[in-house]
Structure 1
């Protein structure tokens, strides 16, 4: 492989990884527009709780998160991206560790961590990589009573994130 081809492959993999990170940011900030921007309009998701068009999933997912989760924090790791020889298709797997807090009907707050894997098909159109397909593999999950602290010294130095475009990440220009 030529030096130019290796550089192009690295740039393509980085662009895909950046979109993976945007997906996580969109979910945690409840940003519908940003979430849709990670998928092609004709893309699809296969999540079990929702199987179908990716943009319809986004329209379902953000209100679901807002209505059911008090907060959520996700991160990706162990990212493997394989580019196809055509230069416009790729397959990827990423591990996702998530943690969310929900309130039960009786008012009890619970903490719900989970470990999942995303299996993606990516496509580059007009020079932009977006997901065409995302399949969710649930490896494990758990729930227990929430024990977060908001008192004392912890409260003195903590900056509260928000689930909106008012979050500091937007103000810092890290999400366009």
Structure 2
């Protein structure tokens, strides 16, 4: 039989575990919202009165959600990662430091394309209101960025071996992406690959050069 003190301690430990997991989920949800161009997902990560400071945008986080979706609307390739979250809990507030890695393809005026990569950290203050954790304040620290030209080969096949018909599915940056199907994605499986003539791609075919 647990005494009252032990029960309180277990309850606090469980609350801390659940809080940390929910905060991690919100960090990942933000990334998904950016990649899919889903303004509702991004807004759901922040409290209504939350503020963000990205340098190029300082202001209300709900307005930032619209801004970033509009900015990325015509960007053909967006990939973001959030890693190494350090979560410091203090009651209904949490300070969270995490690392981000962002890769985007940006079209040039001459029709070419560049890949822009950025690395940095988010410093976030989360707050729990009515049992719901959300970000109250975010500051993005951009610590490194670089660009490189995207080759015609990359633009032409998006990862497919040269000279063959694609058998690899490509996602979309909107709600038509297969991830929105959830478990129903199992009903959308294509015909078995055994029906497709086998082709062993050479190293040269997979080269990005």
Same fold, TM-score > 0.5, yes or no: yes
Provide the secondary structure at the position in 2 that maps to 1:157: coil
User: Take 1:155 and 1:115, find their aligned partners in 2: how far apart are those partners?
Assistant: 35
C-alpha separation between the residues in 2 aligned to 1:167 and 1:65?
16
Shift of 1:155: 5.8
**Cα distance, 1:80 vs structure 2:** 0.5
Segments ≥4 residues shifted beyond 6 Å: none
1:139 aligned to 143, 154, 157, which one?
Answer: 143
TM-score, scaled relative to structure 2 = 0.77
Unaligned runs of 5+ in 1: none
Larger relative contact order (Cα-Cα within 8 Å, sequence gap ≥ 6): 1
The alignment partner of 1:156 has SS state of coil
Q: Measure the CA separation in 2 of the matches of 1:162 and 1:140.
A: 28
User: Which stretch of the first structure deviates more once superposed, 33-42 or 148-157?
Assistant: 148-157
Look up the match of 2:118.
Answer: 114
SS of residue in 1 equivalent to 2:127:
strand
**Is 1:152 aligned to residue 161 of structure 2?**
yes
* Residues 95-154 of structure 1: per-residue CA shift (max 9 Å, x gap): 011111110111111111110211100011111111001100001011001132614368
Which residues of 2 match residues 63-78 of structure 1 at below 5 A? 63-67=70-74, 69-78=75-84
Quote the residue 2:179 is aligned against.
169
Alignment CA distance shift 1:155-1:93 (3 Å): farther
Q: Which residue of 1 aligns with 2:29?
A: 22
Paired residue secondary structure (1:15) = helix
Aligned residue pair count: 171
Q: Quick check: 1:81 aligned with 2:90?
A: no
Q: Secondary structure at the match of 1:19?
A: helix
* 1:52 equivalent among 43, 52, 59: 59
TM-score for the superposition, normalised by structure 1: 0.91
Larger radius of gyration: 2
Corresponding residue for residue 19 of structure 2: 12
